[in-house]
Amino acid sequence: MTQPSASSANSALFLSPEAPVAGAGGGGLRSASLLEYLRRRYAVQVAGFTLPHHSKTFAARAWRNGWRFLRGVPPLVDRYAGFEAQLDPVLRGRHYSIAVVEHFWCAPYASVLRPHCDRLVLDLHNIESELASTHARSISGPQRVLMTRFAAAYRRLEHEWLRHYDVVLVASDADRARIEHPNVHVYPNALPEIARPTVEEEDCIVFSGNLEYHPNIEAVRWFRSAIWPRVRNLTEWLLIGRNPEAVAGMVHGDDRIKLIGPVDDAVEAIARAKVCVVPLLSGSGTRFKILEAWAAARAVVSTTLGAEGLGAKSGEHLSIADDPAEFADAIVRLLKDSEERRKLGEGGRQLYLDRFTWRAAWDQLERANL
């Protein structure tokens, strides 16, 4: 929690459960863009939470999620509940023109923010009910039962909590259609305008992202079992991103799979590959991994769900395939055809420059009168 600054008639409170900085994952990137926009217009006070440690062992997770299942309370809503006292230093005796709340998990704090803020804005990085529903469909067994219950809980809570906000931001038109609110605006995920990396292609494909995020775990599992055997003899597969231990067991023992882990510059790392693969089976919002590949001017092969919300055309900005054999065939074609790789990479980069830079995204916030 940062210390409150002097009061201002044109002030904003920015409440984020994760660091709003580049390098902190997709959520941090989205928050960083929104925070920079606000800082150009308001005197901004940033607030967050200090959470108690909790174990990530299988037994601890199973106990927590079992208790959440019985109560019908989704995991992150439960994790971030009950920290009203931590907001007191930035609320007591102060009033803000606007408060922006990042992530649905923090939506319940509207009740303590409202007396201190003229307008409340909720920024939905994902539609959590859709994220949980698609995850449930991509798995089986007890985990599927668990996620189906959490999806239903999210739908109920979305109906209950969204009405307490004056403005709701979503990442795409697809997400806008999934919620009911009288004042919803699309604020796209975006990157700063990044110069094209000047690195040579290497003989490899790449998957990037937070590797403990459950849609990424399922993507790696599916690609490893259903697609990788069809292309393995032609290339190497690099996995870059935080928390590589989450997928280490899935890729262990194959010397053509390189588990790189976190890197300083994701766009430059992606630019070293010939093809970026996005084999996502669950999710909501839009994918920064595709925006980063486009910024690197690299060809992308994605599932339909992976490319959702970006307005991309298969064959022009990327290649879309949902069947494992078709996904593998698309990779093989691109590995063998440098001109097709260049065409898709250039098409993707132009779409990024047109729609998914911070400047382009900020235009949408201006239209929303924020």
Q: Give buried/exposed letters for 276-295 (b at 16+ CB in 10 A, else e).
A: bbbbbbbbbbbbbbbbbbbb
Q: How confident is the model at residue 19 (pLDDT cuts 50, 70, 90)?
A: confident
Q: Which distant-in-sequence residues (6+ apart) come within 8 Å of 237 by Cβ?
A: 204, 205, 206, 207, 228, 251, 256, 257, 258, 277
Residue 15 belongs to some domain of the structure: yes
In the predicted model, is pLDDT for residue 148 greater than 90? yes
Residue 360 belongs to some domain of the structure: no
Average pLDDT over residues 165-176: 96
Final residue in a domain of this structure, among 155, 187, 219 = 187
Number of domains making up the chain: 2
In the predicted model, is pLDDT for residue 1 greater than 60? no
Are 168 and 247 contained in the same domain? no
Are 248 and 179 contained in the same domain? no
Q: What is the mean pLDDT of the chain?
A: 93
Q: What is the pLDDT of residues 89-129, one digit of tens each?
A: 999 999 999 999 999 999 999 999 999 999 999 999 999 99
Residue 367 belongs to some domain of the structure: no
CB 311 within 8 A of CB 354: no
- Residue 352, pLDDT score: 98
Residue 365 belongs to some domain of the structure: no
Look at 22-31, 32-41, 47-56, 146-155 and tell me which has the smallest mean pLDDT. 22-31
- Residue 8, pLDDT score: 53
Q: What is the pLDDT of residues 247-262, one digit of tens each?
A: 999 999 999 999 999 9
* Bridge partners (DSSP) listed for residue 277: 301
In the predicted model, is pLDDT for residue 194 greater than 70? yes
